Amino acid sequence: MGTAWLAGCSRKNADPVSRSSFLLNTFITVTLYDSQDETILDGCMELCSDYEKLLSKTLESSEIYQMNHRKAGERTFTVSGGTARVLQKGLEYSRISEGAFDITIEPLSTLWDFTGRDPQVPRPDEIQKDLKKVGYENVTLDGNQVTFSNDETTIDLGAIAKGFIADEMKAYLKEKGVNSAVINLGGNVLCVGSRPDGSPFKIGLQKPYATHTETVAALDITDMSVVSSGVYERHFIKDGVNYHHILDPSTGYPYENGLIQVSIISPLSVDGDGLSTTCFALGLEKGMELIDGMDGIYAVFMTEDGTLHYTEGAEGFLD
């Protein structure tokens, strides 16, 4: 995703225990620093798997899949509390960004198929056809009840679900008495507290198009989340053009606004997830303006020339 956890463990403490798994279409890792209880790691993986079964757009048993593949005329669904909370956040960021971030991007995100073996640029007529199906205003949420205003609108929570799940995993760890841990959901990094010796965790911002070990900056992070969105995550190059997965709901094509990467530092990972995409969509000027108007949330923008731009207070996290 563009963030890498760089921290080691203090030699004065017991070795951390860690667990990795392939979930949410990515490799996830949870590392505990102040507990050796591996059943807690089992619980983390189970929690993540349970949410994937609710929120995935590709698992046929998920609530999102079932809503997306509804029968003609079927417009109203009752969903679980977890799904409702993610939808509420997704709709909130769709409104904040005035549709630059849109949870109903699913027809276009599926059409582009960035994870396929041989991704292709869709035909213009296909894009235009699916473009008409996108519009978060066509989804309303009242408690746990979701209502669609037409048969064509479908949902993709890929830009916000991992952040929500990371927050849920953190809450679970705190319940289990864990106060020092790192949750890494494919680059969505959420730190629980600090390292056992009280020092911050070190989180690297990945150098675009490089290996995950190459970074452009390192951040000192205590009890906060770092989430990045960039043009190098899921992308392909065709005829010399880089096509990336952050699609503009108004055109159906990837955003081209001079940005390469946006990283958000925030207390809640769901906000980092939603805002990293939202700010990328808004572009440098409007994105920085949005973050500077929020309390306790910071951003680092990277432009095509490799320059890093920091919102107010963000440089204070530099290692």
pLDDT, one tens digit per residue, over 41-50 is 999 999 999 9
Q: pLDDT at position 31, please?
A: 97
Residue 175's Cα: distance from chain center in Å? Answer: 24
Lowest mean pLDDT among 58-72, 211-225, 263-277: 211-225
Domains, the chain: 3-51+160-317 (3.10.520.10), 59-148 (1.10.3980.10)
C-alpha 108/C-alpha 253 separation (Å) is 9
C-alpha 307/C-alpha 310 separation (Å) is 10
Query: What's the chain's average pLDDT?
Result: 92
Q: Are 291 and 298 in contact (CB under 8 A)?
A: yes
Of the two residues 312 and 119, the one the predictor is more confident about is 312
Q: Is the pLDDT of residue 193 over 80?
A: yes
Per-residue pLDDT tens digits for 66-111: 999 999 999 999 999 999 999 999 999 999 889 999 999 999 999 9
The arrangement of strands across the sheet holding 225-230 comes to 17-23, 26-32, 180-185, 188-193, 225-230, 259-266, 298-303, 308-310
Q: What's the residue count for the chain?
A: 319
Q: Is the pLDDT of residue 303 over 80?
A: yes
Q: Is the pLDDT of residue 209 over 80?
A: no
Among 173-182, 197-206, 231-240, 244-253, the range with the most confident prediction by mean pLDDT is: 173-182
Q: Is the pLDDT of residue 208 over 90?
A: no
Per-residue pLDDT tens digits for 153-187: 999 999 999 999 999 999 999 999 999 999 999 87
Q: Is the pLDDT of residue 13 over 80?
A: no
Q: pLDDT at position 43, please?
A: 97
> For the residues 38-67, what does the mean pLDDT come to?
95
Per-residue pLDDT tens digits for 252-278: 999 999 999 999 999 999 999 999 999
Q: Is the pLDDT of residue 313 over 50?
A: yes
Q: What are phi and psi of 200, to 5 degrees?
A: -70, 160
Q: pLDDT at position 2, please?
A: 61
Q: Are 222 and 194 in contact (CB under 8 A)?
A: yes
Look at the alpha carbons of 246, 250, 253, 255 in this order and tell me if their dihedral is positive or negative.
Answer: negative
Q: Is the pLDDT of residue 3 over 70?
A: no
